[in-house]
Amino acid sequence: MTEANSASRPDPNSETFLPQSTVLIVDDNAQNVELLQAFLESLPVKLVTAADGVEALAKVAEHNPDLILLDIMMPRMSGFQVCKQIKANPKTKDIQVLMVTALNELGDIEQATECGTDDFVSKPVNKFELLTRVKSLLRVRHLKGELERALTYLNEIEQDDEAR
């Protein structure tokens, strides 16, 4: 890659790689939402919140977030149910889901994995651990997007070549 090309591409290891990112925080406890917002305020991301699973699915449809910080134990719809619906939908399956939970039984972790969660962090949340995981998952989301665009472009080139 030439120096000019590398200067125009964001460094995937820097926080400037995240400017178009939207993070949805889902928790029925307002204090938990405020704490997570405070932890994430240093990142260049748009923060959206939801108080339960039903509201979360509506916010996913409205905002198409890159990452969801998802509590498990909530009224109306659990985080497990929300994650399962997000991962089952072709339009939302690539959204990164980070379960934030007080649950720490092996069975809960297994159920979260079976629902399709991408990662999980236990409450009480450690700020450094949360920021590290959020940045990592957002990088994965954006790199997947770049890969999809590159594959689409290559497929178009192949089809053009075959048409000639």
* Of 123, 111, 34, the residue nearest 78 (C-alpha): 111
pLDDT digits (tens, 9 = 90+) for 8-45: 444 444 545 555 899 999 999 999 999 999 999 999 99
Residue type, 126: N
What's this model's pTM, rounded to 2 decimal places? 0.83
pLDDT score at 9: 46
Domains of the chain by residue range: 17-163
pLDDT score at 19: 54
Spatial distance between the Cα atoms of 69 and 57, rounded to a whole number of angstroms: 13
pLDDT score at 68: 98
Spatial distance between the Cα atoms of 54 and 45, rounded to a whole number of angstroms: 23
Angle between helices 79-88 and 53-63 (to 10 degrees): 30
> Tokens 């990142």 identify what position?
43
Query: Which one has a higher pLDDT value, 58 or 104?
Result: 58
* Of 20, 14, 24, 19, the residue nearest 100 (C-alpha): 24
Q: What is the CATH number of domain 17-163?
A: 3.40.50.2300
Q: How much is the mean pLDDT over the chain?
A: 87
| pLDDT at residue 163 tops 90 | no
pLDDT digits (tens, 9 = 90+) for 57-97: 999 999 999 999 999 999 899 999 999 999 999 999 999 99
pLDDT score at 158: 85
